Amino acid sequence: MAEFLASNQKTRVRIPIRAFKMEKSFFDRHYRHLLLIPILLFIFSGVYLVNFYQKNNDILYKDISITGGTSVTIYDSNLNQELIKNDLSPKLENINLRIISDLITQEQKAIVIETTLDGDSTRKVLEEYLGYNLTEDNSSFEFTDASLGKGFYKQLLFAIFLAFLFMGIVIFVIFRTFVPSMAVIFSAFADILMALVCVDIFGIKMSSAGLVAFLMLIGYSVDTDVLLTTRVLKRTGKSLNQLIFDSFKTGMTMTLTSIFAIFLLGLSFILYRIY
C-alpha cells in the first residue's frame, strides 16, 4: 500500500513537468509552422484592405464627424428604425440610424438619425415625415461642416503618420540593430492594419475619436513589443526558442490582464445600473 501511494505521488508530480516539456518541444519543433498564422493574417488583411479601397475609394467607413452632416436624436420610443430608413432613404443622403435603449431592460429610449444633408433640410424632411415639430424638448440637432470634418480627418491621418515615424526612430535608437527594430515596427504596423480590417469587416463607421484610438493602439502595441523583445535579447542561458516562448507567456499575461480589467469594468457598470 505504501509503495502504491509513493508511486502515485511521484506520478502526480511528474505529469505537469512532462506536459510542460511536451509544450516546449512542440514549440521548438513547429515554430516555423506557427509563424505562418500571423503571416497569413497579415496577407489577408492587406488584400482585403486593397479590395476595400477599390470599392469605396477609402480605407474605412466615415461617420458625419469626418464627412460632415447632421445628427438628430429624437426622443420617441415608438419610432421604427427599419421603417424610417426605408421611407427616408430617398430624401436623406447617406442616412444611418441607431437605437438608444436602456442597458438593462433594452427598452427603446430614442433614435439617432445621421445624414450628410444640412441641418435645415434635415429638420424639414423629418418634420414632414413625423407630422410634428422638432423642438429642444423632443429632439437635439448636431451639425458638422464638411470642410471642417475633412480637414480634421487629414490632420488626424498626418498625426498617425508622424507618430508611427517617430516611433520607428525611437525603436532604432533603443535596439540599434536592424532585425529586432524591424520586428517591433512590423508588429505595430500589423496591429494597426488588422484592427482597421476588423473595423471594416464589421461595417463600423469611424469617427474622429475612433481615429485617435489608433494613436493609442500604436502606443500600446509598441510598449508590449519593446518589452517582449527586450526579454528575448537581454536574457541568456536558454535557447532562442525558449526565450521567445517565455516572452510569449508574458505577453499573454498582459493581454489577459487587460481583458479581465475591462470585464470587471463592464460588470461593475451593469451592477451599478441594477442596484
Residue-by-residue pLDDT tens, the chain, 275 positions: 444 334 444 444 444 444 444 445 676 777 778 889 989 999 999 999 999 999 988 888 888 878 888 888 888 888 888 888 888 888 888 888 888 877 667 788 888 888 888 888 888 888 888 888 888 888 888 887 777 777 778 888 888 888 888 888 988 888 888 888 888 888 888 988 999 999 999 988 888 788 888 878 888 788 778 878 887 777 777 777 777 777 888 888 888 888 899 888 888 877 776 66
What confidence score (pLDDT) does residue 24 get?
Answer: 53
Q: What is the DSSP string of 61-82?
A: EE-HHHH-EEEEEE--TT--HH
What confidence score (pLDDT) does residue 42 get?
Answer: 93
CATH superfamily of 69-144: RRM (RNA recognition motif) domain (3.30.70.330)
Instruction: Read off the C-alpha cell for 206.
Output: 469611424
Q: Which of 203, 216, 218, 208 is nearest to 60 (CA)?
A: 203
What confidence score (pLDDT) does residue 48 get?
Answer: 95
Largest CA distance in the chain: 90
What confidence score (pLDDT) does residue 219 get?
Answer: 80
What confidence score (pLDDT) does residue 208 get?
Answer: 79
The domain locations on the chain are: 36-58+148-274, 69-144
What confidence score (pLDDT) does residue 6 get?
Answer: 41
Residue entry with cell 496591429: 191
What confidence score (pLDDT) does residue 139 get?
Answer: 86
What are the start-end ranges of the E strands in 80-217?
96-101, 108-115, 139-144, 205-206
What confidence score (pLDDT) does residue 273 get?
Answer: 65
CB environment 92-131: b (16+ within 10 A), e (fewer)? beebbbeeeeeeeeeebebbbbbbbbebeebbebbeeeee
Tell me, yes or no, if the pTM score tops 0.75: no
